[in-house]
Structure 1
Amino acid sequence: MSERHALAPLRRVSTDVLEVAYYETGSADGDTVLLLHGVPYDIHSYVDVAPLLADSGFRVVVPYLRGHGPTRFLLGSTPRSGQQAALGADVVAFMDALGVERAYLAGYDWGGRAANVAAALWPERVLGLVSVNSYLIQDIGAAAIPLAPEREAGFWYFYYFLTERGRAGLANDPREIARVIWKRNSPKWPFRESDLDRAAESFTNPDYTDVVLHSYRHRLGFAPGAEQYAELEARLAGLPAITVPAITLDGLADGNFPATDGSSSARHFTGPRLHRKVADAGHNLPQERPEAFAAAVRDVRDLRQEQAGREPFARERQDAP
């Protein structure tokens, strides 16, 4: 990762719920791509992806998620929800605030889930999707079904965050919790202390703890969703299909999410979809393998053009270089 690509300065725009801080680069006349980060990470997951896509003609927009960095809730009375419907609704509201009618969405972890939700519920607003770990809409109705013990061990923080001890731990030292998660998620990623320091700045947001805890408590059925998202959550409970062109990615070195051939999630993608496995990449794939992630965004644009009959799509590459 190159220090010369720090994502600054930031811009701000208000939605109905948030004042969103975001970084923008590239051509104002190009297709817009929103790059959506995960947790516990920040917008600098895209520090090298953003310039690559700007050089490819995109308008690149990288927002801080709710509860992160300088993004703020407008009202103290708004529930500090981290549920999937809220994340997806934030994407569309942010597009509205920017005056963007349609955009490509690309993300991983929470950001990938936000992109999946927006693509499934508002396909008319989404030109194409790049999603790490394929279909990320949560089946909350199946939350009580256990995973294999080895995988459950990697998700220790899900259960820690159900407790008040976990709340205190996250509030007291989010940086070191992030370190443990990063090392498990990406065992081959030689991140630096400066990488962790920079991401940890986003955890000082006053709503970080509440938003993160609500996300995990809600997905496991231990906290109700916010009333304003009830209708959206009801639609998501049906695991709606993603109809827009999509490229999905799995990192072959992801410590918590084993790479697949994409077949197990194929039923959820009813539009054109390619699946790729990326060598040496962990969970924070855009920061670990920025060239592969940027290539997927460029290729989903080509995939959409092929669907529209305008340009031929380049030969599929199953494994990114």
Structure 2
Amino acid sequence: MAETIDASRRTWIKKAGALLAASSIGPIGAARAQPVGAASRKLPAVTAGSHTSFGPLRRVRAGDLEVAYVEAGPASGKPVLLLHGWPYDIHSYLDVAPALAGAGYRVLIPYLRGYGGTRFLSEATPRNGQQAALAVDALALLDALKIETALVAGYDWGARTACILAALWPERCTGLVSVSGYLIGSQQANAMPLPPKAELQWWYQFYFATERGREGYARYTRDFVRLIWELASPQWRFDDATFARSAPAFENPDHVAISIHNYRWRLGLADGEARFDAIERKLAGFPTIAVPTITLEGDANGAPHPDPSAYAKKFSGRYAHRLIAGGVGHNLPQEAPQAFAQAVVDVDGV
């Protein structure tokens, strides 16, 4: 969609990007971002849909959660943490994981809170979907697995979490791959209204702001998720078997609560947890990211996403942006696994 977006939508995206830049604390940085170089090594061909299963699901206690995750590749390999988005799951990386494992990486793909086999350790823990909570989950997982540094990569909620780790804990990140670029947000920024066509793109956010929306998502979860897949990736012709592999992830008992809280928190309609206030204050300043980064965008992304020009200056280190052609939508790692996996390798090569 990056090449076919209409003029009015370009206008609001650029305005939103200008607002983000103007809201940043401090200068962008003394040095302009330097481009990421050519690929250090080319991966073998990766075909979307060529894999249908992972190895056994593993579990580890990490922070508030018992995290369910899959792992591929040698235990001695460089760690790569792959984070999925909403409403998707770990199967977005079915073809990416073996490609990276074959290249010698230790690949870790967790179910986020509210998805799949991941569970809260205590019933008393708030079912909180705010951005800081998910970032702290990712850090806790690295700590639990005794991983000091990892390359982090993701899309949608996963890209936002990866960006937060790279911005606030760069000592833990060797590099970043982020679909749709710089996705760190704040309640203050989200309070600003957008032009009507832009607001229309967020229809589900407003639906979730109502109790009718919460009940509707709970009652029709699978139908809702499938609709989002179709709208966000209008040219992705996924089959029933592909959807069926991911659908059980949304039966997690906390999935609806986490999803609803995430979108209500963004609009200031739900409180976050006080323990994350300091993190959110830092994020509200839209900190720059200095670790080597490649951002990706599909040419047919039907979900709301910023124009690359709006966030390029948020990356002050080695940086490149790639537009992935061929009708690629929002779920880029599953639709274009070759491009996603190659970006990971190229960032590591820096």
Give TM-score scaled by structure 1 length: 0.91
Q: Could you tell me which runs of 5 or more consecutive residues in structure 1 were left unpaired when the two chains were aligned.
A: 304-321
Aligned to 1:309: none
Asked if 1:83 corresponds to 2:130, the answer is yes
Q: Give the stretch that moved more between structures: 195-204 or 66-75.
A: 195-204
Aligned-partner SS, 1:60? strand
Asked if 1:221 corresponds to 2:256, the answer is no
Contact 1:175/1:196, CA 8 A, preserved across alignment: no
Asked if 1:59 corresponds to 2:106, the answer is yes
Q: Give the stretch that moved more between structures: 193-202 or 48-57.
A: 193-202
Aligned to 1:119: 166
Aligned to 1:194: 241
Please tell me the residue identity of whatever aligns with 1:118: L
Asked if 1:271 corresponds to 2:300, the answer is no
Residues 269-288 of structure 1 deviation map (CA, whole Å, 9 limit, x = unaligned): 11111100001210000000
User: Which aligned pairs between 1:162-311 and structure 2 lie closer than 5 A?
Assistant: 162-257=209-304, 260=307, 262-279=308-325, 280-303=327-350
How far apart in 2 are the matches of 1:52 and 1:104? 15
Asked if 1:152 corresponds to 2:193, the answer is no
How far residue 198 of structure 1 moved from its aligned partner, in angstroms, is 1.9
CA-based RMSD of the aligned residues comes to 1.3
Contact 2:50/2:95, CA 8 A, preserved across alignment: no
User: Percent of counterpart pairs with the same letter?
Assistant: 53
Please tell me the residue identity of whatever aligns with 1:191: F
Please tell me the residue identity of whatever aligns with 1:46: Y
Residues 175-209 of structure 1 deviation map (CA, whole Å, 9 limit, x = unaligned): 11111111110001001112222212011111111
Contact 1:119/1:242, CA 8 A, preserved across alignment: yes
How far residue 4 of structure 1 moved from its aligned partner, in angstroms, is 4.1
Residues 141-180 of structure 1 deviation map (CA, whole Å, 9 limit, x = unaligned): 1212233433322221101111110111111111111111
Contact 1:251/1:259, CA 8 A, preserved across alignment: no
How far apart in 2 are the matches of 1:76 and 1:26? 34
How far residue 3 of structure 1 moved from its aligned partner, in angstroms, is 6.3
How many residue pairs match? The answer is: 302
Aligned to 1:33: 80
Aligned to 1:314: none
How far residue 256 of structure 1 moved from its aligned partner, in angstroms, is 2.2
How far apart in 2 are the matches of 1:275 and 1:177? 31
Q: 1:206 to 1:299 in 2, by over 3 A?
A: same
Q: Could you tell me which runs of 5 or more consecutive residues in structure 2 were left unpaired when the two chains were aligned.
A: 1-47
Aligned-partner SS, 1:22? strand
Aligned-partner SS, 1:267? helix
How far apart in 2 are the matches of 1:146 and 1:283? 23
Please tell me the residue identity of whatever aligns with 1:164: E
